[in-house]
Amino acid sequence: MESVVSFLSTSVRDNLIVTFLCVLFAYVVVKYGYGPFNFWKNLGVVQVKVQYPFIGNLLIGLRMAPHELMSLAYKAFPNERFVGTYTFQKPVLMVRDPELVEAVLIKDFSTLSDRGSSDDPNSNKLSKHLLNLKEEHWKIMRNKLSPTFTSGKLKGMHQQLIECAGSFMTLMKDLEDGRSFEVRDLVSRLTMDIIASCAFGLSIDTINHPESEFRNMGLTIFKPTTKGKLLFTLRVLPKPVLRIIRKLFAASTNFEKFFVGVVDSTLEHRKQNNIVRPDFLHLMNEIRQKEQEMIAKKELDGKAPYLFDHASLVSNAFVFFLAGFETTASTMSYCMYELAKNQDVQEKLYEEVEEVLKKHNGEPSYNAMHEMPFMEQVISETLRMHPPATGVSRKVSKEYRIPGSDVILHPGVNVFVPIYALHHDPQHFPEPEKFLPERFDESKDAVRKGTYAPFGDGPRICIGSRFARLEIKVAMTMILQKYKIVTCDKTVSPLVYDPNSFLLVPKGGIWLAIQPRNKV
């Protein structure tokens, strides 16, 4: 009898333990697994459906390109001005209404001046650049660097663009037999040479030597991988946690050593040989030298915050390299792709190029580049369909009431502008999948504010956007002068984007061919 009682007691105890553990598990799942995903509901904001506890829609996001995931949320709520979403467990408000977009990026910039997913500017030797800086530090840095991109400075670099594009045209000559080529691979060599020349003052001739260390570094950084995308997505985690994750999973690289070495050796070589070049590196070094001279004269406190130090110079040279290499190559590739598919547009652009160059002795001069309105329209439409930034985020720095609502956001909440989705919304751009450069004809109805922002908008708009446009205009002018761009049997339409890239990268590349104009 005692054994039976003992058995029953043990059984009851075990059942109680199991029941307690089940209840505890359920509590943890509900409170910590699903609890964070009630953030927007508690504020009365419509939100996307969350698939899994703890990780939200992370697994779905890893299977899709970032712009595709946000476009799904954008299209799912056509009557909402803003929608609650989550990155991992972090709440992110997606704004759909153009007036709200304008408020977030421009009108209310003082409350939303920081990027929502920036890294710690002191995390490594290449992180102290404009994209990562916050509030006052960003403002001071932006003011220092803005003169680097004035019309006068860009005009001084124009000849370097012409020389690089000239070498590229020699490479194009080898393709006159009509064989197909992968556009991004080819064009990235040109943009690499241009940014190496205009940012670092180096002649690396990647066009003829594609295996250069410079190009390999750039390709490695932008190579789409699931691990890279995961690390990019997890940037919303607390910085101490993120540092641990990066140490565990991030592959060791020589990026820092390579770029710091390039900058330092270039500056030392120029100093020893009294070399002055009108490039970004020289202009940034002038900023640093001027501050050092002011410190020496006691006109500036050497311990003043936000000085333009060595880390600032190297970091901004690095980010200019990244932006000037990949995003410009992508835009130029997409431009060639759309022109190949739309021969009527290409011929109209060719006629404009011919007409303008006749006025400038056949030379793609700096002034000639500013006399091509249809070229501007073609580039703008390319950027609409294939924006370099598919979305931008801002972080709320102080209590913010969403205009036209009772919803109040507290500091730390991220606000996301889905640029790709806005660019492909038929309400803003009828027949959005058609390549129609005339949308941007200034003599017609203007594009609605808050619907077009390929480089972002407001005070934090990409500082190098004018340089990128100039680069594309020079290259496209010289290509169209001599060649007709055509599709080939390898051309894919529509393009399918690589889900592992945080940029718009087509799977399998973009394949085209060219025909000499004198043979057409």
170 vs 174: CA distance, rounded Å? 7
With a cut of 80, say whether residue 56 has pLDDT above it: no
The domain of 389 spans 97-519
Q: For the chain, how big is the Rg over CA atoms in Å?
A: 26
Q: Is residue 375 part of a domain?
A: yes
Q: Is residue 215 part of a domain?
A: yes
> Is 462 annotated as contributing to ligand binding?
yes
Residue pair 512/336 in contact by the 8 Å Cβ criterion: yes
**H helices within 29-145, ranges in order?**
39-42, 58-63, 66-76, 98-102, 135-145
DSSP 304-339: -TT---HHHHHHHHHHHHHIIIIIHHHHHHHHHHHH
Nearest C-alpha neighbor of 116 from the set 84, 92, 138, 99: 92
Q: Is residue 88 part of a domain?
A: no
CATH number at residue 176: 1.10.630.10
Q: Is residue 330 part of a domain?
A: yes
Q: Is residue 90 part of a domain?
A: no
With a cut of 60, say whether residue 241 has pLDDT above it: no
Q: Is the pTM of this model over 0.85?
A: yes
With a cut of 60, say whether residue 520 has pLDDT above it: no
Rounded to 10°, the helix 465-482/151-173 angle is 30
Q: Is residue 315 part of a domain?
A: yes
Q: Is residue 22 part of a domain?
A: no
Q: What is the tally of structural domains in the chain? A: 1
444 vs 446: CA distance, rounded Å? 6
Q: Is residue 44 part of a domain?
A: no
Residue pair 316/145 in contact by the 8 Å Cβ criterion: yes
The pLDDT tens digits of the residues spanning 126-169 come to 888 898 889 899 999 999 999 888 999 899 999 999 999 999 99
CB atoms within 10 A of CB 251: 8
The pLDDT tens digits of the residues spanning 302-354 come to 888 899 999 999 999 988 888 888 889 999 999 999 999 999 999 999 999 99
With a cut of 50, say whether residue 424 has pLDDT above it: yes
